[in-house]
Amino acid sequence: MSRASFVQARVLPKNQMRIVQITAGAGGRICGSCLHDNALVRSLRRRGRDAILVPAYVPTTTDEVNVAEPTILCGGVNVWLQEHLPLFRHTPGWVDAIFDSRSLLDWLSNRTGGTRPADLGGLTASSLRGEVGHQRKEVDKLARWLAEHARPEIVHLSNALLIGFARRIRELTGARIVCSLSGEDIFIEQIPEPHYSLIRGLLRERSADVDRFVALNDFFAGFMRGYLDLPAGAIEVVPHGVDLEGYPSAPREVGHGNRSGTGRQRVGYLARACPEKGLDLLVRALPILAATHDVEVVAAGATVAAEQDYVRHCLGLAADLGVGERFSWRGQVDRAGKIELFGASDLFAMPTRHPEAKGLPVIEAMAAGVPIVAPRHGAFPELIAHESAAGPAGLLHEPGDPAELAKALAAVLDDPPAAARFSSRGHSLVRERNTFECMAAGHEAIYERLG
């Protein structure tokens, strides 16, 4: 089936608006944005919506059924070549097609892990210039593909670093533009001058091309209003939704450990292996906790080449602190491995240094009924309903302090009734607020208002 016929074959009744989600692929690494975008399109389709997911740059990876289209827009090889070699800004389509081959992009996506944000300032700024940047040819091809084949009423961009596409998309398709906000500041704040100020200015300028922004929580919506200098009402909040298949249908019983079958109480961790997510803080908390508890930490998450040194650092740190046999790193796990990790954990910790914009692993752990320990910043107070009259789904601690983290972990492990309340509350919260149905309905309301 051709590219055009594949897309057009999904046409639903004429009263259906077509929604195209464009997501920035992360190659072989599972990332929160890929998980969210894939889940959103799946949830919309479950409700009968005509929604498609199209990757940009490189393929997407998810631990659930991947519904992304096979075509990749703005192929990462051409984007890089057009930034660094002016000749490729003028090459004909048949030359570009060679570098857009799926096999080459798959190869590239597994070998770009050494790239740092500090190295991408020029490319990021140029991409935000969109139709007048060095990648103008790619932006035009993307918009023309949408106009000729997808014919959307709504185009939903996965993050603000893609808003350079928006102006040309609107010119050629007439679609309304929605953009998710998903922790872009972590990347941007690592870019040095002169590109940092240029990127901040371009983001504010190009935000005018977006009809509505969407954040996953009130915290990040408020933060990004200031970061992008947006007016009130420009950002709406729709929480992330979890596919609950395979998760326990009732809160689990919580007692004194040994859920793992090892005889030890287990702290679970699931996040990308990078300093921002704070795995080393959890390692430093482990010997403090192990002085009074028979406990272990089992951690998992995606890694790229640039982050392998950090993983080795955490493993070496555990050994130096005398807790090497109490700490293990599983690497990237599939959906079954993730649910098994939650099921075998007595509590879940995600001690991020940087205020968290999404917190998807915390939501998933709550869906499994695991008590949460998290820092008192970012989305976490909101996610665990810290100020709710019905009680929270876990404990908060001071960010960046291993001793405070160990104290909070011990408090949950030592108080089975409190742990049981946290488990039950988290299990209920997710089913009230973070289901596929809630996520799809929230986005449908935004799309309908814009349409």
Q: Domain containing 287 — which CATH number?
A: 3.40.50.2000
Per the structure block, which two tokens stand in for 96? Answer: 């570009």
d(CA 45, CA 56): 21
Q: Is residue 249 assigned to a domain?
A: no
Q: Is residue 367 assigned to a domain?
A: yes
Query: Same domain, yes or no, for 441 and 388?
Result: no
* Phi, psi at 193, each rounded to 5°: -70, 155
Is there a contact between 216 and 239 (Cβ–Cβ < 8 Å)? Answer: yes
- The pLDDT assigned to 1 comes to 30
Give the chain's domain count. Answer: 2
Q: What is the DSSP letter of 362?
A: H
d(CA 424, CA 367): 10
- Tell me the residue range of the domain where 51 lies: 3-241+435-450
Beta-carbon contacts of 210 under 8 Å, excluding residues fewer than 6 positions away, are 157, 163, 166, 177, 178, 179
d(CA 243, CA 264): 30
Q: Is residue 260 assigned to a domain?
A: no
Query: Same domain, yes or no, for 46 and 82?
Result: yes
Query: Same domain, yes or no, for 300 and 396?
Result: yes
Query: Same domain, yes or no, for 188 and 291?
Result: no
Q: Is residue 182 assigned to a domain?
A: yes
Query: Same domain, yes or no, for 308 and 179?
Result: no
Q: Is residue 81 assigned to a domain?
A: yes
Pairing type for strands 265-270 and 235-237 reads unpaired
Q: Is residue 186 assigned to a domain?
A: yes
β-sheet with 295-300: strand ranges across? 327-329, 295-300, 265-270, 347-349, 372-375, 394-397
- The pLDDT assigned to 295 comes to 97
Query: Same domain, yes or no, for 68 and 94?
Result: yes
- The pLDDT assigned to 113 comes to 52
Query: Same domain, yes or no, for 224 and 94?
Result: yes
| 381-384 contacts at long range (C-beta below 8 A, 24 or more positions apart) | 381/219, 382/217, 382/218, 382/219, 383/217, 383/359, 384/426, 384/429
Tens-digit pLDDT string for the chain (451 aa): 334 434 544 555 456 899 999 998 766 667 778 889 999 999 999 999 999 999 999 888 888 889 999 888 999 889 999 999 999 999 999 999 988 887 777 766 655 555 678 889 999 999 999 999 999 999 999 999 999 999 999 999 999 999 999 999 999 999 999 999 999 999 999 999 999 999 999 999 999 999 999 999 999 999 999 999 999 899 999 999 999 999 999 887 765 455 666 789 999 999 988 899 999 999 999 999 999 999 999 999 987 776 789 999 999 999 999 999 999 999 999 999 999 999 999 999 999 999 999 999 999 999 999 999 999 999 999 999 999 999 999 999 999 999 999 999 999 999 999 999 999 999 999 999 999 999 999 999 999 999 8
- The pLDDT assigned to 340 comes to 96
Count how many Cα atoms sit within 13 Å of the Cα of residue 290 in the half-sphere of its side chain. 20
Query: Same domain, yes or no, for 197 and 270?
Result: no
Query: Same domain, yes or no, for 207 and 285?
Result: no
d(CA 451, CA 446): 9
Q: Cβ atoms within 10 A of the Cβ of 94, count?
A: 7
Query: Same domain, yes or no, for 157 and 279?
Result: no
Count how many Cα atoms sit within 13 Å of the Cα of residue 231 in the half-sphere of its side chain. 6
H or E stretch covering 75 = none
Query: Same domain, yes or no, for 182 and 76?
Result: yes
Query: Same domain, yes or no, for 201 and 330?
Result: no
Cα Rg, the chain, nearest whole Å:
22
* Phi, psi at 57, each rounded to 5°: 80, -70
